[in-house]
Amino acid sequence: MTPLAQLITDEAFAAGFAAVGFAKASLAESIAVYEQWLAEGMAGDMAYLQRHAELKKDPANVAPGVKSIIAVAARYPTNPSPESGFSAYARGLDYHDVIRSKLRTLAATLNEHHPLQVQRICVDSAPLLEREWAIRAGLGWQGKQGQLVNASAGCCLVLGFLLVDLELPASDPVAECCGDCRCCLDACPTGAALGAGRVDARRCLSYLTIEHKGAIPNEFQSAMSGTLFGCDRCTAVCPWNRRGTALVMPELDAQQSTPSANACLAMTEAEFTERFKGTAVYRIGLERLKRNASLA
C-alpha cells in the first residue's frame, strides 16, 4: 500500500468507518444487469433510476477526470426486532449527512498532502452503481438479497464514495462467502428478494414504506406487520452480523427511542419535525409515515 493509500485508510478507520478500499475508475461492469432489472420494471415508480441509467455507465460522467474511487462502509446496529418499527439505520442520525461530513473531512486531509482537482462525494444521491464500486474496492461481496456483506462488519452497512483524480492502488477483491445459506431470502415476507443479488422493489417493504408515494397494495399490507419505516428482515438474519467485529459508527446508533404506530398517527407536523429532523425518516414526511402507521 502506498503512503497516501495508507493515510486514507487510517483516516477512514479513525472516522469510524468499518471498511475502506480503492477502485480504479473505469466503465461499470454490471450495467447490463442493472439495465435488465430496469427493463423488467423492478424499480417500481423510481423513475429517476431510469433517467440516470446512462450516466451510471461511467463514473467519469459523475466526476470528469476521476482516476480512483475511494469506497467506505459504515456499520449500523443489527435490528433485534426487524418485523416492526423503524429500520435500525434510521434510528440514529441521517447517514447521508454523517457520511458526507466525514468524507468532506477526508477530502480536506487529502488536499493538505496532494491538492485535488477532482473531489466528488457520493452518498446515495449520485448516478453511481454503488454496490459494484464497493465490491470492486474490496469492501465485501454481494449477498443473495443484494446487500454488500463484509466479513468483519456483516451486512448492516451504508456506503459512501469519494471520487478523486489520484492514482491509488486498487484493493484486492473479496470472495463470495454466502455458500448455501439462504437466511435472507427466506426472511423476506413478500418474495421481493429473488436471489443472485436481485430484489423486486415493487414487492419490497423498504421500498413500499419509503420510496412508494401511493397507497400500499393490498397484497402486501398483511406482510407489513408493525413496519413503519424500512425493513431489516433480510439484513438482520445474516450470520455475518454475529461474526463481525467492526464497531457500529456511533452517529448511526439509536439516539432516542422510536414512537409507536399510534403515536405516529397522533403526531402533528411540528412534532414530526422535532422528532425526526436530522434522521432518514424526515425525508418521507408525516403523511407517508401516517400511511404506514395506519397499516401497522
Distance CA 170, CA 243 (A): 26
Diameter of the chain measured on Cα atoms: 57
Q: pLDDT value at position 254?
A: 86
Tell me if residue 253 falls in helix, strand or coil: coil
Which grid coordinates belong to 171? 484493493
Distance CA 220, CA 203 (A): 7
pLDDT bin (cut points 50, 70, 90) of residue 125 is: confident
Average pLDDT of the chain is: 96
Q: Show which residues are catalytic.
A: 124
* Strands annotated E in 76-233: 84-86, 119-122, 141-142, 148-149, 157-164, 193-195, 198-199, 226-229
Give 15-65 pLDDT, tens digit per residue: 999 999 999 999 999 999 999 999 999 999 999 999 999 999 999 999 999
Q: What are phi and psi of 19, to 5 degrees?
A: -155, 150
Q: pLDDT value at position 270?
A: 98
Residue recorded with cell 469506497: 71
| Cross-strand partners of 75 | 157
Q: pLDDT value at position 115?
A: 94
**b/e 270-288 (16+ beta carbons within 10 angstroms → b):** eebeebbeebbbbebebeb
Give 91-101 pLDDT, tens digit per residue: 999 999 999 99
Q: Could you tell me the pTM of the whole model?
A: 0.95
Which grid coordinates belong to 243? 461474526
**Amino acid identity, residue 284?**
I
Helix (H) or strand (E) holding 273: helix 269-276
Looking at the chain, the whole-number percentage of residues with pLDDT higher than 90 is 97
What is the mean predicted confidence (pLDDT) over 276-289? 97
Give 67-80 pLDDT, tens digit per residue: 999 999 999 999 99
Q: pLDDT value at position 269?
A: 98
Distance CA 59, CA 15 (A): 25
Q: pLDDT value at position 1?
A: 86
Task: State the helix-helix crossing angle for 95-113 and 3-14, rounded to 10 degrees.
Answer: 150
pLDDT bin (cut points 50, 70, 90) of residue 121 is: very high
What is the mean predicted confidence (pLDDT) over 276-280? 96
Give 202-256 pLDDT, tens digit per residue: 999 999 999 999 999 999 999 999 999 999 999 999 999 999 899 999 999 987 8
